[in-house]
Amino acid sequence: MRCTLTTEELEAKFERAQTELDLQPVDKILFRPFLGTIKNWYLPEYEHCLRVGLKCKEVAEETGIVEPIALYRCGALHDIGKSGIRKELLSKRTGWSKADSREMHEHIDIGCRMLRDLHDFEYWVILNSHTFDFHHPSKPTFSESHTERDKLYILNCARQVNLIDFYDAATHRLNDRNTPGTPRLLTDDEVRRVTTEQNMDCKHLIDKLYSKGIF
């Protein structure tokens, strides 16, 4: 389901979600500088962060696997590290190379450095969300203080953030990575196909989200 809201409408919806989730004032204050940084650097990526945060809330409310407020926060902050990536790369639509992918991958470390010690839970979720990348999978990373229950919760959050991030990018980004040589938005059917193909471990969840009108 492609979002057609303007930036202002997205921001208003994002604010309403904070009220619905009873987000505390101190949390709202901590949100602003991170989202403000990506907004000032590259607006489409800021809108992507808002959409992912909002979609995370919807998914969490439907599945009950993790708390909506936790998934919402992680989704909204998941790509703030792209404020440290060149605008030329962020806006690139054709001719995507392995070197481009390596450079873009740096946003993970940048974002995690921004979050650490301020948003500890979000730091671990976002760090581990890329464990599930289709093209660049990695091993989960935890601290010595994490219990097995902590690890499972972090990985559940991370997997859902990764899936929702992928879905939103497939739905809204104009590029030729999925349609070589022809930069265009994917059709709804193409979005579902590529989202399922590259997230086969989540096929049951994807089907459920489509049946509920969330995807």
CB 89 within 8 A of CB 67: no
Query: Which pLDDT value is given to residue 174?
Result: 79
Write the DSSP assignment of 104-128 as a string of letters.
HHHHHHHHHHHHTTTSHHHHHHHHH
H-run or E-run covering 157: helix 148-172
What are the domain boundaries of the chain? Answer: 7-211
Give the list of residues 6+ apart from residue 70 with CB closer than 8 angstroms, or none. 60, 121, 125, 157
CATH fold of the domain at 7-211? Hypothetical protein af1432 (1.10.3210)
Query: Which pLDDT value is given to residue 137?
Result: 65
H-run or E-run covering 32: helix 25-41
- pTM here? 0.91
Q: What is the pLDDT along the chain (215 residues), one digit of tens a residue?
A: 788 899 999 999 999 999 999 988 888 887 889 999 999 999 999 999 999 999 999 999 999 989 999 999 999 999 999 999 999 999 998 888 889 989 999 999 999 999 988 888 999 999 998 878 765 667 888 999 999 999 999 999 999 999 999 999 999 987 666 666 677 889 999 999 999 999 999 999 999 999 999 99
CB 204 within 8 A of CB 125: no
